[in-house]
Amino acid sequence: MKKQLQKGDKKLLHAWAFYDWANSVYSLVIASAIFPLFYGALFRSEGIEEIEVFGMMLRRSPLIFYTTALAFLIIAIISPILSGIADYLGNKKFFLKLFCYIGALSTIGLYWFSLEHIYVSLLLYLLGLVGFWGSIVFYNSYLPDIAHPEQHDSLSAKGYAMGYIGSVLLLLLCLAMILGYQTFGFESEAFPTRLSFILTGVWWIAFSQYTYAYLPKGNKADGKLSKDVLLDGFRELKAIWSSLKTQVKLKKYLAAFFVYSMAVQTVMLAAAYFGEQELEWGSDSERTTGLIVSILLIQIIAVFGALLTSRLSQRIGNIKTLIYVNIIWIVICAWAFFVYTPVQFYITAGVVGLVMGGIQALSRSTYAKFLPETEDTTSYFSFYDVAEKIGIIIGMFLYGFVEEITGSMRYSIVFLILFFVAGVFLLLRVPKSSKK
């Protein structure tokens, strides 16, 4: 058994950040690049745009958006329950592993995704999302436990940067197999595309073992597991909600985060489907190559974007930096309405990459900075994650609904401008103190 490393130890911090390397392949390969292409190709090969699900005819994009919203609803409900259990058992790492394995094994199961078995297929997609985002609840809650406040910004940015680099490496391998399928001895693009899902799940499980080897189990609980422990997580959220009355800065920041994160996460989850469906690619091979190249562009630039945002926040403060980043997001959404060609999409992807990693990393570290002195970081980060998930539920549902009634995702993208504008307004209301 390895000796427990002290808070702030470089090896411990690296091990924590390495989980981003392990799990970010899911957000890139499944959520952003290959699965959206695969999903769209299934419908195009059948020559259909709608499919009957639970007695309703739904367009392909709203169907996956509604499934995504349902997954986040499940996460929002179970996260407080699991946080309460984790507090009693004092073992966050168990739940981090549990959700990792649920997500990774479900991702492997996407190899068998088909329209003929749409219910099982959507269930696997849903469980992959639940596993990925569920593990993030416990992963994020480790940040104040293992790092000192002055390390939060740089460590959070390091995690995202490692995630972008690792996921790009796997995506390049998958892209090489799909585009060069004949070189690898495959009969068509179909098998290497499905094989990418297996590789993603295996990568996620394998590399996460390094993180598990060094992270502590969690804070030890004083009491024993009680029969009403399932409600303790909700009680803790209620207690934190009540405590916000005396924590004005944290409360106002959370309000701003809830609104702008709703838009950011929705754009990130829907961007690949927008590119796959709304752009004039010319041919299927050009669509595959172009969309993956644009996603790679986002990932590569995002590495520098996360680090740049971290440095900018050190110079002008976290809140002011977040305001500027939100303004850039407003411009991106307005521009997206007029994007039709691959070149325009590449330009958009580059700017998105610049602000995507930065806003995520800085939002997480800003929240950690604003927390009061407490050992109960799991509950605070559970509150943070539940707020984020509720925002995603609303954002994804509205995004799919607007497309369903208008027939185009362009109007859905523009609709999100309202949330970014509200985010800027609410960030301006966060009390100023020092450079935080």
d(CA 247, CA 371): 9
Res. 375 pLDDT band, cuts 50 70 90: low
Mean pLDDT over residues 80-88, rounded?
68
Q: Comparing 19 with 134, which gets the higher pLDDT?
A: 19
Q: Token pair 């958009």 is at which residue?
A: 348
Statement: residue 435 has pLDDT above 70: no
Strand ranges inside 42-87, DSSP E: 50-53, 56-59
Mean pLDDT over residues 156-160, rounded?
78
Q: Comparing 205 with 223, which gets the higher pLDDT?
A: 205
- Of the candidates 156, 191, 420, 184, the residue with the CA atom closest to the CA atom of residue 311: 156
Q: Token pair 């394995």 is at which residue?
A: 101
Statement: residue 434 has pLDDT above 50: no
**CB within 8 Å of 254: residues ≥ 6 apart:** 244, 367, 383, 384, 387
In the DSSP assignment, the letter for residue 245 is G
Lowest average pLDDT, out of 66-70, 96-100, 380-384, goes to 380-384
Statement: residue 218 has pLDDT above 90: no
Q: According to the per-residue pLDDT averaged within each range, which of 3-12, 72-81, 105-114, 316-325 is highest?
A: 105-114
d(CA 326, CA 64): 26
Q: What is the pLDDT of residue 436?
A: 45
Statement: residue 108 has pLDDT above 90: yes
Q: What is the pLDDT of residue 58?
A: 87
Res. 84 pLDDT band, cuts 50 70 90: low
d(CA 420, CA 326): 6
Q: Is residue 1 domain-resident? A: no
Burial (CB count within 10 angstroms: exposed 0-12, middle 13-18, buried 19+), residue 188: exposed
Res. 87 pLDDT band, cuts 50 70 90: low
Mean pLDDT over residues 357-379, rounded?
77
Mean pLDDT over residues 151-155, rounded?
76
Statement: residue 413 has pLDDT above 90: no
Q: Is residue 144 domain-resident? A: yes
Q: Is residue 3 domain-resident? A: no
Mean pLDDT over residues 341-364, rounded?
84
Q: Comparing 128 with 283, which gets the higher pLDDT?
A: 128
Burial (CB count within 10 angstroms: exposed 0-12, middle 13-18, buried 19+), residue 222: exposed
C-alpha distances in angstroms, 150 versus 8, 20, 156, 369?
10, 20, 11, 9
Statement: residue 415 has pLDDT above 90: no
d(CA 291, CA 285): 10
Q: Is residue 272 domain-resident? A: yes
Q: Which domain holds residue 29?
A: 10-216+229-428
Q: Comparing 164 with 220, which gets the higher pLDDT?
A: 164
C-alpha distances in angstroms, 385 versus 10, 54, 58, 77, 237?
26, 30, 29, 11, 11
Statement: residue 116 has pLDDT above 70: yes
**pLDDT, tens digit, 9 for 90 and up, residues 251-301:** 889 899 999 999 988 888 888 888 888 888 877 778 888 888 888 888 778
**pLDDT, tens digit, 9 for 90 and up, residues 35-46:** 988 998 898 888
Percent of the chain with pLDDT over 90: 27
Q: Comparing 204 with 304, which gets the higher pLDDT?
A: 204
- Structural domain total, the chain: 1
Residue 211's identity, in one-letter code, is T
Q: Is residue 4 domain-resident? A: no
Q: Is residue 436 domain-resident? A: no
Number of Cβ within 10 Å of residue 70's Cβ equals 17
d(CA 256, CA 421): 10
d(CA 76, CA 95): 15
Statement: residue 155 has pLDDT above 80: yes
Statement: residue 372 has pLDDT above 90: no
Q: Is residue 113 domain-resident? A: yes
Q: What is the pLDDT of residue 414?
A: 83
Average confidence score pLDDT of the chain? 84
Q: Is residue 2 domain-resident? A: no
Q: Which CATH number does the domain housing residue 322 bear?
A: 1.20.1250.20
d(CA 435, CA 72): 33
